Amino acid sequence: MVVCVLICAMAVLLFRWVNPPLTYYMAREWARLGEIEQVWVPIEAMSPYLPRSAAAAEDANFCRHPGFDVEGIRAAFADRSRLRGGSTISQQVAKNVFLWPGRTWLRKGLEAGFAVLIELFWPKRRIMEVYLNVAEMGEGVFGVQAAAERYWGIDAAVLGPQRSGRLMAVLPSPKRRSPVSGSGWINTRGRAIERGAETIRQDGRADCFS
């Protein structure tokens, strides 16, 4: 047990500086589709609207919590009949980089353990950077650079607030949604994320990755 924990801790520490290679889920999608799209970019090379939009869409208190949504955890234990959502960005990075998709209690327990290590060893800015490079943004599309190229033919560095908001609006169902679909839901959700991103910029909740 101790050896396993040490190995996991060393892997997490390594990825503080080394970009994660192909993840389990990426490899599975590659095998299924024949190819995937991903282009790693440092957070400095992304539009500042992207991390703010990601936080607004998925985890508005990202800068203020230690990796867990306490209210979400309480709700999950209160409703044992099913596993609820509410995963923080740190938990999603743990799942995307180190684990596999699934909603079992075992997977959620491992996710929590990795999230603790990630918060311990990585600065918040690195957590956000990894998240924005490995999150699925469409069928076979991973990360904001590949998504920007796929949907608009441009770099992630030049995405404005509207496009950033609509891109994050595809989460958590990127296979069923598209930021360029023109659907009323995407437009409405995108505008809400855009407003939320500006709010967290103004009130300081984006300071840890800005």
The residue type at 188 = T
> What's the average model confidence in pLDDT over 137-150?
97
> What's the average model confidence in pLDDT over 187-195?
98
Name the helix (H) or strand (E) containing 138: strand 136-138
> What's the average model confidence in pLDDT over 139-148?
97
Residue 182 to residue 117: CA distance in whole angstroms: 40
Tens-digit pLDDT profile for residues 148-170: 999 999 999 999 999 999 999 99
At 83, the pLDDT band (50, 70, 90 cuts) reads: very low
Can you read off the two tokens belonging to residue 35? 């190819």
So what's the pLDDT on residue 81? Answer: 41
Question: CA angle, corner 116, sides to 111 and 119, nearest 5?
Answer: 120
Q: Please state, rounded to an integer, the average pLDDT across all residues of the chain.
A: 90
Q: Is the peptide bond before 172 cis (omega within 30 degrees of 0)?
A: yes
Can you read off the two tokens belonging to residue 166? 């609509």
The size of the chain, in residues, is 210
Tens-digit pLDDT profile for residues 100-113: 887 778 888 889 99
So what's the pLDDT on residue 34? Answer: 96
Residue 57 to residue 176: CA distance in whole angstroms: 17
Percent of the chain past pLDDT 70, that is, above it, reads 91
> What's the average model confidence in pLDDT over 60-64?
94
> What's the average model confidence in pLDDT over 33-55?
97
Give CA 140 to chain center in angstroms: 16
Percent of the chain past pLDDT 90, that is, above it, reads 76
So what's the pLDDT on residue 75? Answer: 54
Domain boundaries, the chain: 2-203
So what's the pLDDT on residue 194? Answer: 98
| Residue 87 phi, psi dihedral angles, 5° rounding | -65, 140
2-203 CATH fold = Penicillin binding protein transpeptidase fold (1.10.3810)
So what's the pLDDT on residue 174? Answer: 95
So what's the pLDDT on residue 202? Answer: 97
Fill in the DSSP letter of residue 143.
Answer: S
> What's the average model confidence in pLDDT over 5-33?
91
So what's the pLDDT on residue 132? Answer: 98
